[in-house]
Amino acid sequence: MIKQRLVELLTLAIRNAQKSGKIPILPLPDIVIERPQNPDHGDFASNIAMKLSHLTGLKSLLLAQHINSLIIPSDEIIHAEVAPPGFINFFLKSDWLASQVNVILDAGQSYGNINLGHGSKIQVEFVSVNPTGPLHVGHGRGAVLGSSLANILTAAGYHVQKEYYINDAGNQIEAFIQSLYVRYQQALGIDTQMPEDGYVGNYLVDLAKEIIDEGESGLSDFAKPAVLQRLKELGLKKTIEKIKNDLELLGVTFDNWFSERSLFDEGKFNLVMSLLHQQGSIKEKDGATWFVAGSLDNNKDNVLVKSDGSPTYFATDIAYHYNKFLERNFDHVIDIWGADHQGHVPRMKAVMEIIGVSPERLRIIISQMVTLRRGQELVKISKRSGDIITLREVIDEVGSDACRFFFLSRSANAQMDFDLNLARKESPDNPVYYVQYAHARIASILRLANERNIKYFDGDVSQLISPPELTLIRKMLMLPEIIQTAVMNLEPHHLTYYAQDLATVFHSFYKQCRVISTNLTLSKARLKLVEAAKITLARTLHLMGMRAPESM
């Protein structure tokens, strides 16, 4: 990346300034390269002189001048200049910019890839909804965040595993099965009352009928425990299958589906509880087992095993993460949780050190709530009220691409409004339509070139010298930086803004520059530029898990 090249040039210049005695010898602070908001200030800028001023007591403007005078010539930079109070601004060469079109074309669908991860193993665990009903819109947001983040991490050189943690043990599953039993009985004409903690959504009525229609109408002839066990097997299997199908509609798949029940069946839970006991990290109180760690001691939310013998989700999460780090040996783990798990984060961070894992290896993203609207009309979502708007319904209404783009359009920690009416619009007001239309327009230009039998592989990119052309190239060169930023901050939403910016710049170029004209030499050069733009925009869309349509 060009930013790294500038860091190298600045580092060498500072070292030479230190050797000459113009700058005191001291450890260098991080050199940050940024893009100035004002293009008159160059393509890139660094404030390293101001950082050194704080360390040395020397004037930042003078330090910047010393450093700038020692920056060696390079293929990329036409010149660098100093600006008050001590910035060093870099200006890229036009011919170097034009040459990057060929670099993008050579890279093809790997354009934008960087090697931050160096092949390290990283797991992204997301969605992980209790299999007690269909997915709703909030689950969809977490699903898109996780799958897009996995795409970006792969592009950044990590070996990524996507995992869904199936909560198939615990009280919520028992409540679900009891509720399914009631709906099953009712479907057979047997008057049965729903328990107070039951799931009353209509989806359970449909699920019970489905089970009966598939030949399971005679279960009531058996004792209730046997009926509950069979309904548990069928209910969980069918619910998980529906979840998988809904996620696949959204373009979300997993490498592994991990069963919470396996933690108990394979002895992992008992192993971890024994380990915590040996380390003095648990105590018995009021008939329950508690986790104690420093300032978290005696916090009522830190119960591991309740007085009735049932484990809390905190306890199973400890065993689950022990398995991730110490048995499956992931270098890093990223969990994407819903907003209701915010308070669980410090506990999990605290317990990492207890099980011998650096807390920095666990990153937790909290996905905030989604408000669904049709224009100004609020659409309510409630999993237990029976008035449920499912993720599948939203996908059916606006399509998976719109879902993915809108879910990614805000940072995970920000609540978001999802306007279904806007997502359906076929106009520039809809960012999904706007971005995909740009790709379709590019594809149509290349089809026209093919129809006219214009072979442009030998196009001379040095012909690309106009401001609209160079502006487009500059924008395309930002993709590796966007990927780096998204990975470093675990923020895939940067892709949505970049996609819109790239589409805007391309549309502007298209209006100002006739691609196919009587000037064959220029036409060939511009066709190469257009193909490079197609690669860049398609790559961005694919990282978001979206289609790059050839026509619209």
Q: Determine if residue 172 is left, alpha or beta; phi over 0 gives left, psi from -120 to 50 gives alpha, anything else beta.
A: alpha
Domain parsing of the chain, residue ranges: 2-92, 97-116+429-543, 171-246, 266-323+340-364
Neighbour count for residue 12 (Cβ, 10 Å): 13
Contact of 388 with 134, CB cutoff 8 Å: yes
- Which residues lie closer than 8 Å to 470 by C-beta, 6 or more apart? 94, 97, 98, 464
Element (H, E) at 434: helix 431-451
* Domains 2-92 and 97-116+429-543 fall in the same CATH topology: no
Q: Which CATH number fits domain 2-92: 3.30.1360.70, 3.10.20.30, 3.40.640.10, 3.40.50.1580?
A: 3.30.1360.70
Cα–chain-centroid distance for residue 194? 39
What is the b/e burial string over 235-269, where b = at least 16 CB atoms within 10 angstroms of the residue's CB?
bbebbbebbeebbebbbbebeeebbbbbbeeeebb
**Would you write out the chain's pLDDT as a tens digit for each of its 552 residues?**
899 999 999 999 999 999 999 999 999 999 999 999 898 999 999 999 999 999 999 999 999 999 999 999 999 999 999 999 999 999 999 999 999 999 999 999 999 999 999 999 999 999 999 999 999 899 999 999 999 999 999 999 999 999 999 999 888 899 999 999 999 999 999 999 999 888 888 889 999 999 999 998 888 778 899 999 999 999 999 999 999 999 999 999 999 999 999 999 999 999 999 999 998 888 898 899 998 866 454 455 588 999 999 999 999 999 999 999 999 999 999 999 999 898 889 889 989 988 999 999 999 999 999 999 999 888 875 443 445 788 999 999 999 999 999 999 999 999 999 999 999 999 999 999 999 999 999 999 999 999 999 999 999 999 999 999 999 999 999 999 999 999 999 999 999 999 999 999 999 999 999 999 999 999 999 999 999 999 999 999 999 999 999 999
From 1.10.730.10, 3.40.640.10, 3.40.50.2300, 1.20.1250.20, which CATH number describes the 97-116+429-543 domain?
1.10.730.10
How far is residue 17's CA from residue 273's CA, in Å, rounded to a whole number? 58
Cβ atoms within 10 Å, residue 37: 7
pTM assigned to the model: 0.92
* Cα separation, 540 vs 245, whole angstroms: 25
Nearest to 276 by CA among 356, 158, 221: 356
